[in-house]
Structure 1
């Protein structure tokens, strides 16, 4: 890690972030980061609680003169998305993130940075450890497993928190105030198949789709970025329809909430069709690259002859599988009729695995409308069930409905205008924030979301803007000093 990071202003935020990033913190494996936060709270001699699912709550009394203000909950999640470039040698379970400064940005060496939501956590730590920042009574809530199911927020029981206002520090544009978000549901299609032994006079090929931008499957879905699973399926479809291509293996995508950047397949083609297959595939590759040349300039599609696989998927299953992936919607399903430019409903075909007689397709369907969320989920279910897949819904969570009359919204807007002499954007986002879930057990709690500018979240291109973090920290301190009085 570059020592320069600890010298960046605000030093308290970047030092806490550096300490945080030294601790491995993959989703569902948060034991070490939970203990790290417990030790942090106890070292400050603050009341520190770990609830039954692993969320950490650290309480700090109001500073002198702020006792009559509404108590607040400051909230961020402890886990981070683990993504790395194919050429990066890195173990997320044992290594700390290697960070570097690049101009006005902090990024990692070939991996995700963890600024989502580590900068929010670090900012809260900065407030908790401060001796000169005025603030009302604080309950700092550090949730677990936000990225792979939001089980921390779901497991937080009602009655534990007493705060009247929640500040969620998990927004990724510094000029935006979040007042609503999308809900989601995981749609998983599975099927077993018989493997068939191949005959003679065939050649094996490895196809690799790499170099895509990837990104957040909610916030970035509107950009029309390439989906490696969809691109791979176009290649397989063309090869099968014209030249009888057979599939041995597919490994595409990774996390449900990340637009897939890479997909790898092993296939076979009869020797008699090799030349035509390669020419036709190269033509299709060039067309796909041309389609994505503006938005995905680093897209690479490579096909190489390899040792011939010993077994392939049975042909009737293969045909239905390829057609199902082709038919399944990926991308924006419906735009909001009420908020200009906001995606209402979308789907990300996040992961496609074919290996040793088993197929698994994982999707994340998002929507700020519960009815449209289930409409799209049932559309996907129908698509895969027609291909004889078993389909399961899991991990469903609600959206967060905006409250334009919330006192904290008025406070945050006023602070932003006074500090920066411009109007902030007030918007809902097409991502899963924990506010919607927390609001189920705390329906009277006002909620707001804001944070520094972070680009490329959920991908190895993730980077946090230094000047924006300074702006965010200034705004956070101003908001804390202007929390409304108790009624």
Structure 2
């Protein structure tokens, strides 16, 4: 791990970030990072608690002269999204993140960086370990499993916190104060197919789509980036229009909250000029449509000698029709908030192996009825194809409160520090604030953070100057928490 990272300012924050990133911390496997945080709090002589689900709470008394201020919750999540390039040899379960400094940014070699939400965690650690930062009494809440279910926030002990103000440090634009977010629901479809032998005169090939940007399936969905699963489906549909295509296997995408960057399928077909022409025409159309958004798009069809059992042509066609019918991308824009995506879906993962299919989507919306509408529509398409459909992981949105007292403090501090007004927004990401507000009704909440780009992809990086801006801003807010 580069010493250059530790040398950046503010050094306290970057050193804690480097320490954190040395600990493997995949969602649902946070045992090591939880132990790391417990040990961190104990070494500082602070009160440390773990609730039944595994969230870590560290409590620190107010600094001298700040005892009359309201106590606050500072909150970030411990887990990180694990994504890597196919040609990167890296084990997220055993290795720390390999970071580097490149000009004004910090990134990782071929993997996600973990700035989401590691910068927030590190900032809280820096406040907890400080001896000269003015702050009110703090309840530092480090939640688990935010990225794949928000389990920590959902199951947070209802009696472990007492503060009425919450600072969530998990957003990615340093000129924004977030006061609302989308809720979400996971859709999972499964089906088992009867397989047959590949016809003797058919060609078997690997269809590959790669080189896409990927990104956060909430914050980046508005950009119209390429979805590898959808592109693969279009190519298969084009070929099926002129001849039977048997699908043996599919591996597309990985995590529900990441836009799929890569997909591949092993297929068999009778190789004719007509079917190859259809493939090449669709390939050219995709390159043309996405030339400005996805300049590294790479589509290939490579013959292979692998010969296994495969789906029938009829079942293969039905599967392609189903994937075509699943909505992907923005479904509805907010009629009330400019440029806010209200409802969307990410066709996140498609896997088919030995006749066993699984399709995974994440539907998001800031309006529960719209979320239900879209998830029902997608489920209906799946059910028409005879698939078993399960909805899970449902979590609520966070309704904006424009009369928030802590929002007024944050707006005033931002204007004083930076000579312009912040953007007060709601976001299309799944912040934990909605769930935390359910566990502790009446919490006065805002969310803010530094500029993080490419979250949930191996292109993830954080801007050093923006972290410095975020840190300066955070310290000023801590000084001016309302009087109790």
Alignment-derived partner of residue 133 in structure 1? 133
Q: Secondary structure at the match of 2:281?
A: helix
Alignment-derived partner of residue 213 in structure 1? 213
CA–CA separation in structure 1 for the residues paired with 2:282 and 2:237: 11
Alignment-derived partner of residue 257 in structure 2? 257
**Matched-pair contact (CA < 8 Å) for 1:248–1:309:** no
Alignment-derived partner of residue 35 in structure 1? 35
CA–CA separation in structure 1 for the residues paired with 2:413 and 2:20: 29
Q: In the TM superposition, what whole-angstrom CA distance separates every residue of 1:243-288 from its partner, at most 9, and x where no partner exists? A: 2111111000000000000001100112xx3443223212211111
Segment drifting more, 295-304 vs 119-128: 295-304
Alignment-derived partner of residue 184 in structure 1? 184
TM-score under structure 2 length normalisation: 0.99
Residue 316 of structure 1 deviates from its aligned partner by 2.8
Alignment-derived partner of residue 440 in structure 2? 442
CA–CA separation in structure 2 for the residues paired with 1:321 and 1:190: 11
Residue 311 of structure 1 deviates from its aligned partner by 1.2
The question of 1:366 aligning with 2:364 is answered yes
Alignment-derived partner of residue 323 in structure 2? 325
**Matched-pair contact (CA < 8 Å) for 2:205–2:303:** yes
Alignment-derived partner of residue 157 in structure 2? 157
**Matched-pair contact (CA < 8 Å) for 1:267–1:309:** no
Alignment of 1:284-303 (within 5 A): 284-303=282-301
**Matched-pair contact (CA < 8 Å) for 1:268–1:308:** no
Alignment of 1:41-440 (within 5 A): 41-270=41-270, 273-440=271-438
CA–CA separation in structure 2 for the residues paired with 1:317 and 1:68: 68
CA–CA separation in structure 1 for the residues paired with 2:439 and 2:353: 42
Equivalent of 2:451, from 447, 453, 456? 453
CA–CA separation in structure 1 for the residues paired with 2:336 and 2:310: 49
Q: Secondary structure at the match of 2:335?
A: coil
Count of matched residue pairs:
484
Q: Secondary structure at the match of 2:358?
A: strand
CA–CA separation in structure 2 for the residues paired with 1:52 and 1:116: 24
Q: In the TM superposition, what whole-angstrom CA distance separates every residue of 1:5-55 from its partner, at most 9, and x where no partner exists? A: 100000011100000000000000100000000000000000001110110
**Matched-pair contact (CA < 8 Å) for 2:52–2:157:** no
CA–CA separation in structure 1 for the residues paired with 2:319 and 2:248: 13
Residue 309 of structure 1 deviates from its aligned partner by 2.6
Alignment-derived partner of residue 482 in structure 2? 484
**Matched-pair contact (CA < 8 Å) for 1:172–1:450:** yes
CA–CA separation in structure 2 for the residues paired with 1:42 and 1:29: 22
Q: In the TM superposition, what whole-angstrom CA distance separates every residue of 1:286-315 from its partner, at most 9, and x where no partner exists? A: 111010000111111011111143211123
**Matched-pair contact (CA < 8 Å) for 1:203–1:308:** no
CA–CA separation in structure 2 for the residues paired with 1:5 and 1:192: 49
Residue 160 of structure 1 deviates from its aligned partner by 1.1
Give the aligned CA root-mean-square deviation in angstroms.
0.8
Segment drifting more, 383-392 vs 448-457: 383-392
**Matched-pair contact (CA < 8 Å) for 1:232–1:263:** yes
CA–CA separation in structure 2 for the residues paired with 1:307 and 1:19: 47
Q: Secondary structure at the match of 2:242?
A: helix
Alignment-derived partner of residue 13 in structure 2? 13
Residue 406 of structure 1 deviates from its aligned partner by 0.7
**Matched-pair contact (CA < 8 Å) for 2:72–2:139:** yes
Residue 157 of structure 1 deviates from its aligned partner by 2.0
CA–CA separation in structure 1 for the residues paired with 2:273 and 2:250: 23
Q: Secondary structure at the match of 1:283?
A: helix
The question of 1:471 aligning with 2:469 is answered yes
CA–CA separation in structure 2 for the residues paired with 1:87 and 1:300: 15
TM-score under structure 1 length normalisation: 0.98
Residue 388 of structure 1 deviates from its aligned partner by 1.1
CA–CA separation in structure 1 for the residues paired with 2:281 and 2:423: 45
Q: Secondary structure at the match of 2:15?
A: helix
CA–CA separation in structure 1 for the residues paired with 2:89 and 2:410: 43
CA–CA separation in structure 2 for the residues paired with 1:197 and 1:73: 60
CA–CA separation in structure 2 for the residues paired with 1:229 and 1:326: 10
Residue 97 of structure 1 deviates from its aligned partner by 0.3
Segment drifting more, 456-465 vs 440-449: 440-449
CA–CA separation in structure 1 for the residues paired with 2:209 and 2:453: 23
CA–CA separation in structure 2 for the residues paired with 1:397 and 1:436: 8
* Structure 2 unaligned residues grouped into runs of 5+: none
CA–CA separation in structure 2 for the residues paired with 1:124 and 1:198: 58
